[in-house]
Amino acid sequence: MVKLAVREMILAALFAALAVVAAALFRFGAPVVPFSLVPFVVMLAGAILGAKVGALSMLVYVLLGLIGLPVFEKPPFGGPAYVLQPTFGYLVGFIGGAYAAGALLPEKGQPGFFRYFLAMVGGLAVIYLFGLPYLYLILNFYLGKTFSALQVIKIGFLPFIALDLLKAAAAAALARAISRRLGVYRGKK
């Protein structure tokens, strides 16, 4: 069993709340996969809180939606049936993406921007590794539509990767600045 300090629980809750706000305020885009700022929050959570607490914060976000709170980007915005939405794999990927972004940064020291950026890109890769196969499976086997792997990439990856890389760069810069400014690294003093 993992023991968390009160500070870690509060920070995990804060980042879960930030994900809710990012999903609610900035949702628009394509009919199947919406544009969202949640990946930005995911990468920040991993970089600032570390792998475990960052992943926990995104797990809390996903669980809030699955119990029925309207926290996700597209209708029905929450509930257990959301697992049948084509984009649910991205939500699972948020948990892994936060973990990866945190795990790819060293525990000690103050890495440079490039190291932060590579960690953010690693987090994005995990989001897509969960999101794209799930999108393919739900579209083809649950919704009964015929989509090739290339078509899934065209609707679930290509329209978003450039903006996601910009979010990764912004998250890297912000996470590095926060850790330097506060004199903390990975949620620790």
| pLDDT, tens only, 24-73 | 887 666 667 888 899 999 999 999 999 999 999 999 999 999 999 999 98
Looking at residue 73, its pLDDT comes to 86
- Contacts of residue 97, defined as CB under 8 A and 6 or more positions apart, other chains included, come to 39, 42, 43, 46, 58, 123, 124, 126, 127
Quote the distance between the C-alpha of residue 9 and its chain's center. 18
CATH topology for the 6-182 domain: Arp2/3 complex 21 kDa subunit ARPC3 (1.10.1760)
- Domain range summary for the chain, segments of one domain joined by +: 6-182
Query: Running DSSP on this structure, what letter comes out for residue 188?
Result: B
Tens digits of per-residue pLDDT, 88-147? 999 999 999 999 999 999 987 789 999 999 999 999 999 999 999 999 999 999 999 999
User: Which pLDDT score is estimated for 187?
Assistant: 47
Distance (Å, rounded) from C-alpha 76 to C-alpha 130?
Answer: 21
Contact between 147 and 140 under an 8 Å Cβ cutoff? The reply is yes
Model pTM above 0.85: yes
